[in-house]
Structure 1
């Protein structure tokens, strides 16, 4: 039976790299996106060009009705789910905590935390052996910011990723005997478009000297770790974290 994966935030960066690599590894792929339809459809086209099966589905994963509809469409169009990558996330303009307002905090926490809980819930309903599923795996995309704190820039983002670390630990133990493994990757300074959202597109160039390996990472390097955690090679690994941060 074919493996089926949902990659949230799959239209760019780490999500797009993960979707493409998953297809190469034999998964049927749902590329979830919120607004970037053309980019998501390009990922789907790339997968189809290599002989894979993929669909793009628009959904705001911070919205419960959108999440429910997303997973229902995957059921109908791709078949039984076996893997979820909780990758969707945002950050906002670099800012000190003393300047942050509640609207900003709610946007960050809802998009980066609530979405992971909602998507995990729907995945578990489908994959859990207690519900008649055949098991599966979830990988949450956290960040090395969860342990560094991102002072002066993104403490709110870092805090949201700290919550994802706790979700990973608790959920891994909760569903371990239901055939589901839950792990996380913690990327460091990865060269993606997300830095432009924070107002500094060339942030990697500024900070790479603080990284022991003296460079930023590539989205494909994160995708490789994600696909390993999803694979049978990691069959006895749950509640674990892989830092992909060049030694940071």
Structure 2
């Protein structure tokens, strides 16, 4: 059976790199994106160039009805065997006391509620042998003081979600893991007000640099693969030693 994987936030950054690597290893892909249709179509062309089937679905993962529509569309490719919960946002970097309720709610909605809604739909439709990978962050343990503590707190919740789901879904033969990236060269930093943040934090990282999307995608692809058949409940840190 050909694996069918849903990737949220699949039009850019880590998500796009993951889609391309999954297609190269034989997955058919349902790619979810929020706004950039041109970017999503570009990634979809790469899926098709790899000889795989793919669809791009524009959906807001914080909206339960749109999440149902996403998974209904994905099932047209076949039985869903994988989910990569990747759609995420930050907010402007700054002191904790300056955090607005609007930014707080947006970060919680996208990075936690969206993950829960997608995992819920996946769990309802998956069977033995399927797998979920949640994209967390090294911020979950570093805390991100002076930057975005609320984002770090939500990513810590992602780790807890991973642990709980792995225990609940394990008896059904469904594996659940997380990948915890450090700072990665993607455009997610633009919204924080520091698009060159990956360069600025390099001296904090034992390996002396920020990471690249393909390095995170490789870990995600492995966790979805048969080679990770006894790995569940893990939070795989890919953060350059941080």
**Which bin holds the TM-score, normalised by the shorter protein?**
over 0.9
Deviation at 1:102, TM superposition (A): 1.6
Match of 2:152 in 1: 158
Gaps of 5+ in 1: 128-132
Give a deviation string over 1:80-112, Cα, whole Å, max 9, x none.
100000000000111211111222111110100
Match of 1:139 in 2: 133
Distance 2:110 2:225 in 1: 27
Note the 1:74-113 alignment, pairs <5 A: 74-76=74-76, 78-113=77-112
Distance 1:51 1:72 in 2: 23
Match of 1:176 in 2: 170
Match of 1:130 in 2: none
Deviation at 1:135, TM superposition (A): 3.4
State the secondary structure of the residue aligned to 1:159: helix
- 4+ aligned runs moved over 4 Å, structure 1: none
State the secondary structure of the residue aligned to 2:6: strand
Match of 2:45 in 1: 45
Deviation at 1:204, TM superposition (A): 1.1
Distance 2:25 2:147 in 1: 37
State the secondary structure of the residue aligned to 1:151: coil
State the secondary structure of the residue aligned to 1:123: helix
Match of 1:149 among 143, 146, 152: 143
- TM superposition score normalised by structure 2: 0.98
Match of 1:9 in 2: 9
Give a deviation string over 1:130-189, Cα, whole Å, max 9, x none.
xxx343000000000000011111111111101100000011000101010000000001
Does the 8 Å CA contact 2:128/2:172 hold for their aligned counterparts? no
- TM superposition score normalised by structure 1: 0.96
What is the RMSD of the two structures over their aligned residues, measured on CA atoms?
0.8
Does the 8 Å CA contact 2:133/2:176 hold for their aligned counterparts? yes
Distance 2:75 2:183 in 1: 35
Match of 2:117 in 1: 118
Distance 1:80 1:90 in 2: 29
Gaps of 5+ in 2: none
